[in-house]
Amino acid sequence: MRSFATLGLIGAAALAAASDVHVLKQDTFKAFVESNDLVLAEFYAPWCGHCKALAPEYEEAATTLKEKNIPLAKIDCTEEADLCKDHGVEGYPTLKVFRGPTNPAVYPGQRKAQAIISYMTKQSLPAVSAVTKDTLEEFSASDKVVVVGYFAADDKTSNTTFTKVAETLRDSYLFGASSDAELAKKEGVTVPGFVLYKTFDEGKNVFSGKFEDAEITKFISASATPLVGEVGPETYAGYMESGIPLLYIFAEEASERESLAKELKDVAEKFKGKVSFATIDAKSFGQHAGNLNLEVGKWPAVAIQEIAKNQKFPFSQEEKVNAKNIEKFVNDFVSGAIEPSIKSEPIPESNDGPVTVIVAKNYDEIVLDDDKDVLVEFYAPWCGHCKALAPKYEELGALYGKKDKIVIAKVDATANDVPDEIQGFPTIKLFPAGKKKAPVDYQGSRTVEDLAEFIRDHGTYGVDGLKNKKSAVDDEDIAKATEGMPQQAMAASEKAKDSAESATEKAKETAEAATESAKTGAAKVAEKAKDAAEAVVEALTDDEGGQADHDEL
């Protein structure tokens, strides 16, 4: 009779055999990506918890995408270390989209089956797919959000404008187009125009503004966001990328979140495109309320985050969360009648160390100084990676001691409100002189050398801090090489003195031992002894009267 362990192994083997995810190795990888037009590859480690959580989602996506001839693959980086290194893998899981063996793109979506399916389906299609009256129903329902443009076949200007927007947003939305005038009329569109079809809220939105890329993009961003959505790990990035101020509704129970969403839906409709509304699970993500300057634990609670400037506007926790109060609060925000809440540590009394300390109250003064390249580390006190970086960052700061062109700075992003949206710690950004509106994110290794090279290559002044480090190292080497030389020289001098005195004394003794009758001979002996003593001193001195160099005495 077979044991349970044996049955388990057989089951695991059967499951592995049935997998639709291709296992790639160093000797099979290149041929596989060359033989497929589009491949999603996961670089993983078996011990990685996030990889384990992704596994069933990845399998589900692979099975669905197999029908569309879009293969999914995985590479075990504990076995294929060189292959993973070649593709710049620094964390697990790393997912990359390949269209051939070179220049892959990082997969930017959520690690969920439907998100992977949606994204890879979009990647497999042209930026804009042709749509007819026979395919519209199926195409418009093929994703959560689908945009279909309607314009005449000879309207090249509208076609170009729509295609440009589609190329920019193709990672997020599915785009189609039709030149069927009757179909456009049936869908309620005045050409040129478009319809955004969606699986939530009112089902579709018809665009009626100016057919220009900025207006089209703004409309799509607003319409693709649910009137009252939900903030979580899968949706947070989307809200941040939209650039639209976000109103958070914190509540612990799902039933209360649902009730508040229903009550505030009309308010959300009124401010659609100006403020997004979303509930958030206070049990799981309540600590985020502290980042919005709310009192954690006092629920329900509401706050608006102005994403573009990362400003926080907490709703008074002494007032009731209802449609009337929230409508007034949002109206005051939109009209500019309320000031943002700013959290800041005190400005340091002294800031002369190698790393300049930033707080909210001196942020603009230091970071936006247009005459200096400013490298800023946004950190959290509890962050292990930040603690590991600290001594290296101090060493980096020491390379630019004068702070006349380069400033190395840090800010505790948990204790200070900063205008930058920080999604992980440490986050490092360079704010170049003369280009403060275009900071450069640092993505390299956290070493002194790499950080210095980043400042040199992306800063306005091109200062090479490593030259200062090399100079300091050279000085240190010289100091070590000459260490103890003064003591050696002194010892050499003492030795010379002792030798001279000894020779003189011996000459004296020889002279005294001579008889009166041998005075002439004694004088000759004394003269020779004197010459010997002078020779000893001369041998231990250089041409200018100093002590000569000697390895040993």
- Here the tokens at position 363 are 């942020």
Q: What was the pLDDT predicted at 243? A: 86
Q: Read off the pLDDT of each residue in 44-57 and give the average, rounded to a whole number.
A: 94
Q: What was the pLDDT predicted at 184? A: 96
Average pLDDT, the chain: 84
Burial state string for 510-536 with b = 16 or more CB within 10 A and e = fewer than 16? ebeeeeeeeeeebeeebeebeeebeeb
3-state percent helix, strand, coil for the chain, nearest multiple of 5: 45, 15, 40
Catalytic, 77? Answer: no
Catalytic pick among 246, 251, 386, 407: 386
Over residues 458-474, the pLDDT tens digits come to: 999 999 999 866 555 45
Q: What was the pLDDT predicted at 109? A: 84
Q: What was the pLDDT predicted at 310? A: 84
- Here the tokens at position 360 are 């909210």
% the chain with pLDDT above 90:
69
Q: Read off the pLDDT of each residue in 426-452 and give the average, rounded to a whole number.
A: 95
- pLDDT tier at 530 (50, 70, 90 boundaries)? very low
Catalytic pick among 28, 32, 48, 272: 48
Burial state string for 35-46 with b = 16 or more CB within 10 A and e = fewer than 16? ebebbbbbbbbe
Q: Read off the pLDDT of each residue in 51-72 and give the average, rounded to a whole number.
A: 95
**Better pLDDT: 515 or 147:** 147
Burial state string for 202-233 with b = 16 or more CB within 10 A and e = fewer than 16? eeebebeeebeeeebebbbbbbbbbbbbbbee
Write the CB contacts of 223 (distance below 8 Å, at least 6 apart in sequence).
196, 198, 205
- Here the tokens at position 282 are 């206070």
Over residues 351-398, the pLDDT tens digits come to: 999 999 999 999 999 999 999 999 999 999 999 999 999 999 999 999
Q: Is the pLDDT of residue 309 over 90?
A: no
Q: What was the pLDDT predicted at 483? A: 54
Q: What was the pLDDT predicted at 297? A: 95
Catalytic pick among 38, 206, 334, 383: 383
Catalytic pick among 33, 51, 244, 389: 51
Catalytic, 51? Answer: yes
Sheet holding 356-358, edge to edge: 356-358, 406-412, 373-379, 427-431, 440-441
Pairwise CA distance, residues 320 & 506, whole Å: 109
Q: Read off the pLDDT of each residue in 106-125 and give the average, rounded to a whole number.
A: 90
- Here the tokens at position 198 are 């969606």
Q: What was the pLDDT predicted at 432? A: 97
Least confident interval from 35-49, 95-109, 346-360: 95-109
Over residues 271-292, the pLDDT tens digits come to: 998 999 999 999 999 999 998 9
Q: 0.75 exceeded by the pTM?
A: no
**Better pLDDT: 13 or 48:** 48
Least confident interval from 196-210, 278-292, 390-404, 496-510: 496-510
Q: How many CB atoms lie within 10 A of CB 432?
A: 19
Q: Read off the pLDDT of each residue in 152-170 and give the average, rounded to a whole number.
A: 94
Q: Read off the pLDDT of each residue in 281-308 and give the average, rounded to a whole number.
A: 94
